[in-house]
Amino acid sequence: MNKIFETPLYAYSRSPDQESEVAVRHKIVIVGAGPIGLAAAIDLAQNDIPVVVLDDNDKVSSGSRAICFAKRPLEILDRLGCGDAMVDKGVEWDLGKVFFKEREIYQFNFLAETGSKRPAFINLQQYYFEEYLVARVRELQAEGKAIEIRGGNKVSAIGVHDDHVVLEIDTSEGPYNIETDWLIACDGANSTTRQMMGMDFGGRVFEDHFLVADVIMEADFPTERWFWFDPPFNRGQSALLHKQPDNVWRIDFQLGWDIDREEELKPENIDKHLRAMLGAEVEYELEWSSIYTFQCRRMEQFHKGRVIFAGDAAHQVSPFGARGANSGIQDTDNLIWKLKLVLEGSAPESLLDSYDYERIHGADENIVNSTRSTDFITPNSEMSRVLRDAVLDLAEEHDFARPLVNSGRLSVPCTYDDSPLNTADGLDGPEISRPGSTCPDAPFGDGFLLNELGDKFVLLTIDADAPELVEEDGIAVTRLEISAKDDTSGAIRRRYLGNEPTAVYLIRPDQHVAARRPNYNENLMRAAIRRATGKE
Amino acid sequence: MSDLILTTNIDHADDFYAALLGAHEGLSKADSDALNARLVLILANHIGDNDILSKAIDAAKSSG
Ligand SMILES: Cc1cc2nc3c(=O)[nH]c(=O)nc-3n(C[C@H](O)[C@H](O)[C@H](O)COP(=O)(O)OP(=O)(O)OC[C@H]3O[C@@H](n4cnc5c(N)ncnc54)[C@H](O)[C@@H]3O)c2cc1C
């Protein structure tokens, strides 16, 4: 079968840079055309900043890898022009079932609040995700944007200077050098950039193995997430079943620590696991399989001078909770507007310190959540297993024990409480839109609020007067005017006003709230804009 | 805010203790451990207050 992940999407072709006697200087180079590198590149190109992406490969991710994408990343992908493709192809789901030993012990519903454009989750193979990102790159190229992917380009050495970085690149036609003002390293969990710079990647490795099998089959399992603790077909271990588009099913088997990896990966052994679970007669085709161990690690700092790390290169979490790609997209969402202001000279380079602050906060939140899930799924002592099983036994009968069951806490957007860019909350408004949070979506006119916010600074006024445009030291903030009278669904009132009659929000280009007040105050707003751009 | 009670608080202490032993009677070590674990979780939920629960964990740890 001709799979998308077997087709070269950005085959090597010779670049004029390879003919040049002196190394050609670029503004921004990204290492890695995984989902995070591509998202960063698209964001830059949409902002008319030229970018070159280097990848040692020429294809999308092999096998599904990430399959579960949460609402916030989908909203960001809307801004990057890929949201519709993702959601149209993806499968939506909201029901989870938990099994313990022979029994189904309970079900739970991830019922998302209504009144936002994007669902709580979709399942979609990572190769589709990357394919849509590449298609978007091609679209931007057709519009004349300076965005380029160079496949078959492996970064083999870097030289870091105060105001630029030199890259040595290996190709099938030999090596060449380029220079760049800024380097964004999105080269994955085994980041060569990180290693070449000798930067640390500390954390925890869990002593367990998981077999992931993506299986194509006609099956009448519903579109739900099924998780088994200690099932009869995988005694003492756990298992997961989850649906992807095109009749592809993700099946995970926990295997334990003491295994022979080579042996377990043989198709006949995978077949044994699958038949034990699905029945002896099942007909299926194995699309992809892999065995992995879990790690939860991150870098101490996410940027050093002109080199910035994002995605798995900067942090790695265990897959339970689907937080890897989901959080990497939030890295670039956080980074690109800041980098743009720094490049334009309208914000100091120190604005990038807030990238570290905010995204390390995000990474730590993900690491705590993934670590707790992993500790629950793979108890690491006799007593932690006794307690875990007690929770599961109680959960069947008693509602109180269900929140303790942890088969993965799925990705939710990160709120940057205490960020240096926030102005102290000046509104007695709803929690969910306090400074630092992502703007909650709401129906607006014929569409949705987040699409209106876009990727620039916005002054959102709800029944409050304000100028149409505020300019403060190179930063332009445009007003978006809303009246509670037009808010027929009541979502804007619930999410932005609470009991207050009026509100004014300063919203960052990544759609996070920087400041809010009941009304517009010139001096306070200018101070908030300065603060949100690293000038106070 | 209430505090963790570490003074006498059960009316008929001997009755409670006998009931606790009775619940474990005839159980294997594994079943007893499981019973204790379920009991701890049920009681913890009844208390509900994280502050008191962490004081209780500390008190249990320091008298061992
Ligand atoms: C089994 C499994 C299930 C997962 N499930 C989920 C999920 O449901 N949801 C979720 O959000 N995440 C999930 N993840 C995590 C997700 O796959 C990763 O977080 C995501 O791929 C990270 O993207 P990235 O772009 O940072 O890195 P990668 O996807 O690893 O991309 C790095 C790129 O850099 C290139 N590269 C590396 N070194 C060099 C070099 N020296 N020169 C040039 N190019 C280089 C590589 O070829 C590669 O293309 C899962 C992961 C696994 C393994």
In sequence order, what DSSP letters do the residues of B1-64 get, joined into one string? ------S---TTHHHHHHHHHHHHTT--HHHHHHHHHHHHHHHHHHH--HHHHHHHHHHHHHT-
What pLDDT digit, counting tens, does each position of A232-262 carry? 999 999 999 999 999 999 999 999 999 999 9
What was the pLDDT predicted at A221? Answer: 83
- In the predicted structure, residue A218 carries a pLDDT above the cut 90: no
B2 within a domain of the structure (yes/no): no
Structure tokens, A294: 């879990």
What pLDDT digit, counting tens, does each position of A368-380 carry? 999 999 899 999 8
A109 vs B24 pLDDT, higher one: B24
- In the predicted structure, residue B52 carries a pLDDT above the cut 80: yes
What pLDDT digit, counting tens, does each position of B14-28 carry? 999 999 999 999 999
SS3 of A310-371: the string is CHHHCEECCCCCCCHHHHHHHHHHHHHHHHHHHHHCCCCCCHHHHHHHHHHHHHHHHHHHHH
Question: With the C-alpha atoms ordered A523, A525, A529, A531, is the resulting torsion angle positive or negative?
Answer: positive
Chain A hits for B40, CB-CB cut-off 8 Å, are 387, 390
- Bridge partners (DSSP) listed for residue A147: A51
A18 within a domain of the structure (yes/no): yes
What was the pLDDT predicted at A61? Answer: 80
Q: Average pLDDT for residues A393-421, to the nearest whole number?
A: 93
Q: Average pLDDT for residues A262-273, to the nearest whole number?
A: 94
Is A328 touching ligand 1 by the criterion CB < 6 Å?
A: yes
Q: What are the CA-CA distances from residue A28 to residues A145, A196, A340 (Å)?
A: 14, 19, 11
**Whole domain around residue A133: which residue ranges?**
4-92+123-203+296-366
A271 within a domain of the structure (yes/no): no
Q: Average pLDDT for residues A223-229, to the nearest whole number?
A: 93
Listed in order, strand segments (DSSP E) in A93-172 are 95-100, 103-109, 121-123, 147-150, 154-160, 165-170
Residue A194's Cα: distance from chain center in Å?
20
Q: Identify the domain boundary among A345, A366, A387.
A: A366
Structure tokens, A389: 């099983």
Chain A hits for B33, CB-CB cut-off 8 Å, are 383, 386
What pLDDT digit, counting tens, does each position of A47-76 carry? 999 999 999 999 888 778 899 999 999 999
- For B37, the closest of A387, A398, A400 (CB atoms) is A387
CB half-sphere exposure, A257, CA atoms < 13 A: 6
CATH number at residue A62: 3.50.50.60
Q: Are residues A439 and A319 in the same domain?
A: no
Residue B58 CA to ligand 1 center (angstroms) comes to 42
Of A494, A490, A485, nearest in space to A463 by CA: A485
Considering its fold, how many domains does chain A have in total? 2
Taking the Cβ of residue B34 and every Cβ of chain A, the question of whether any pair is shorter than 8 Å is answered with yes
Tell me the pTM.
0.95
- Bridge partners (DSSP) listed for residue B41: none
Q: Are residues A443 and A349 in the same domain?
A: no
B3 within a domain of the structure (yes/no): no
Tell me whether residues A387 and B45 touch, CB distance under 8 A.
Answer: no
A403 with A319: CB under 8 angstroms?
no
What was the pLDDT predicted at A115? Answer: 87
Structure tokens, B44: 């913890």
Tell me whether residues B38 and A390 touch, CB distance under 8 A.
Answer: yes
Is A214 touching ligand 1 by the criterion CB < 6 Å?
A: no
What was the pLDDT predicted at A391? Answer: 98
Is A34 touching ligand 1 by the criterion CB < 6 Å?
A: yes
What was the pLDDT predicted at B1? Answer: 53
A220 with A296: CB under 8 angstroms?
no
Is A169 touching ligand 1 by the criterion CB < 6 Å?
A: no
Q: If you take atom 29 of ligand 1, which residue's CA is the nearest one?
A: A34
- In the predicted structure, residue A1 carries a pLDDT above the cut 60: no
DSSP assignment letter at A399: G
B56 within a domain of the structure (yes/no): yes
**Whole domain around residue B31: which residue ranges?**
13-62
Q: Are residues A68 and A160 in the same domain?
A: yes
Question: With the C-alpha atoms ordered A318, A319, A322, A327, is the resulting torsion angle positive or negative?
Answer: positive
Structure tokens, A167: 């890259």
What was the pLDDT predicted at A368? Answer: 93
Taking the Cβ of residue B42 and every Cβ of chain A, the question of whether any pair is shorter than 8 Å is answered with yes
Q: Identify the domain boundary among A366, A391, A407.
A: A366
What was the pLDDT predicted at A147? Answer: 98
Nearest-Cα distance to chain B for A67, in Å, is 34
- What is the ipTM for the molecules in this complex? 0.95
CA–CA separation, A51 and A453 (whole Å) = 25
Residue A190 CA to ligand 1 center (angstroms) comes to 9
Chain B hits for A386, CB-CB cut-off 8 Å, are 30, 33-34, 37
Q: Are residues A60 and A155 in the same domain?
A: yes
B52 within a domain of the structure (yes/no): yes
Q: Are residues A356 and A470 in the same domain?
A: no
Considering its fold, how many domains does chain B have in total? 1
Is A30 touching ligand 1 by the criterion CB < 6 Å?
A: no
Listed in order, strand segments (DSSP E) in A257-318 are 285-292, 295-298, 303-304, 307-309, 315-316
CA–CA separation, A317 and A247 (whole Å) = 27
- In the predicted structure, residue A522 carries a pLDDT above the cut 60: yes
CATH number at residue A506: 3.40.30.120
Q: Are residues A139 and A41 in the same domain?
A: yes
Q: Are residues A159 and A15 in the same domain?
A: yes
Q: Identify the three-state secondary structure at position A308.
A: strand
A158 vs A112 pLDDT, higher one: A158
Q: Identify the domain boundary among A350, A366, A382.
A: A366
What was the pLDDT predicted at A389? Answer: 97
